[in-house]
Amino acid sequence: MSLTDKLSIIVVGYGRWGRNHAATLKEIPNARLVAVVDIDERASQEAAENLQVKAYSNVDEVLEKETFDAATVATPPYTHADIAVKLIEAQKHVYVEKPFGFSTYDALRIKEAAEEVGVTVMPGFSQRYIPVFKAFAENVKAFGRPRLVTAIRESKGWFWSGPRIGIIPEQGIHGLDLALQVAGSPPSEVAAFIVERKPRVDEMAEIIVRHKSGTITEVKCLFGAPRWNDSASAICEEGEVIADRIGRSLTIKDKEGKRDSRIIFEDEGNFLKPALKDFIDSVLRGEEPPIKLDEGVRNWRVCDAAYKASQKSLVVKL
């Protein structure tokens, strides 16, 4: 395949975010959306009518009846691994939405299946493509080793649906992914405090990760906050970078005080589009995608370690 070809692709899951997958794929020139799969036949039929594609109620049926190259999986997290592995074993390339399964075990199942079959699989941590966070990650590299990286996600509402996965992988995962990405060193130890609103319903969490380089990352997430907050900061050896998604601003400071600038970004737009485009281009080029399988597994290792650390009141070594 080459970039002049079109990748035939399906969307599995036509809920709120799956609808965005389908609509976005229709906008990408080298993608050809051929079908939508959803167990709710009303949803899949709606997709068929609105997008002029085929509709199916399960993955087995679409594999039997359609010819396609790739799929995106935007179903509830507890279904990610089973669906992704089935598609991979059918030799399909797969983009798997965050949090990339329901546990470390799930993430490893997806990774091992992809490596065995030899297809492209990209974990869907698409918020890396939000302009202010993309610029944050790029600018952190210019200031030497990060010493302390912090990511905060505070939401006014509550978002639970289906089997409960926990506040960290459900709501804090993008901040965790961003913090671990810019830390630039493998995590080695995890401590955490997680507070439940009622049994098995998390209200807030704070995770502290020590990296092999000595960098510390902190990730804080909260439901039911008085205001929205989605931000990140990095204190590095040569300066500091602060990103505020809500304010669409990036503040950059060097340690000498010679550079102190604030950049205001336009509306973030559809950040899913560049993520899906990178996935599609990686498949067409036969290259590894920009978000690696190991990063999806790494994020889950830290999530699972955080719950263990909080429950046992200990520091978990990875």
Contact 128, 134 (CB under 8 A): yes
Q: Are residues 251 and 185 in the same domain?
A: yes
Report residues of the chain scoring pLDDT below 70: 1-4, 158-164, 257-259
Domain of 99, CATH number, reads 3.40.50.720
Residue 239 — φ and ψ, nearest 5°? 165, -170
Q: Are residues 310 and 170 in the same domain?
A: yes
Q: Which residue range is the domain that position 36 belongs to?
A: 7-124+273-291
Instruction: Give the model confidence (pLDDT) of 168-193 as tens digits.
Output: 998 899 999 999 999 999 999 999 99
Q: Are residues 50 and 105 in the same domain?
A: yes
Contact 63, 48 (CB under 8 A): no
Q: Are residues 70 and 87 in the same domain?
A: yes
Q: Are residues 215 and 286 in the same domain?
A: no
How many angstroms separate the CA atoms of 159 and 106, rounded?
22
Q: Are residues 80 and 196 in the same domain?
A: no
Position 149 in a domain: yes
Task: Retrieve residue 87's tokens.
Answer: 């598609």
Domain count of the chain?
Answer: 2
Q: Are residues 163 and 246 in the same domain?
A: yes
Domain of 205, CATH number, reads 3.30.360.10
The DSSP symbol for 199 reads T
Position 239 in a domain: yes
* The predicted structure's pLDDT at residue 258: 64
* The predicted structure's pLDDT at residue 266: 82
Q: Are residues 68 and 172 in the same domain?
A: no
Position 152 in a domain: yes
Residue 303's H or E segment, with its range, is helix 293-312
**CA within 13 Å, CB half, 270:** 15
How many angstroms separate the CA atoms of 263 and 248, rounded?
8
Position 18 in a domain: yes
pTM: 0.94
Position 2 in a domain: no
Contact 220, 149 (CB under 8 A): no
* The predicted structure's pLDDT at residue 160: 53
Contact 281, 5 (CB under 8 A): no
Contact 296, 113 (CB under 8 A): no
Contact 249, 233 (CB under 8 A): no
Q: Are residues 54 and 98 in the same domain?
A: yes
Q: Are residues 131 and 247 in the same domain?
A: yes
Instruction: Give the model confidence (pLDDT) of 279-315 as tens digits.
Output: 999 999 999 999 999 999 999 999 999 999 999 999 9
Position 160 in a domain: yes
Q: Which of 183, 180, 181 is nearest to 235 (CA)?
A: 183
Q: Are residues 60 and 118 in the same domain?
A: yes
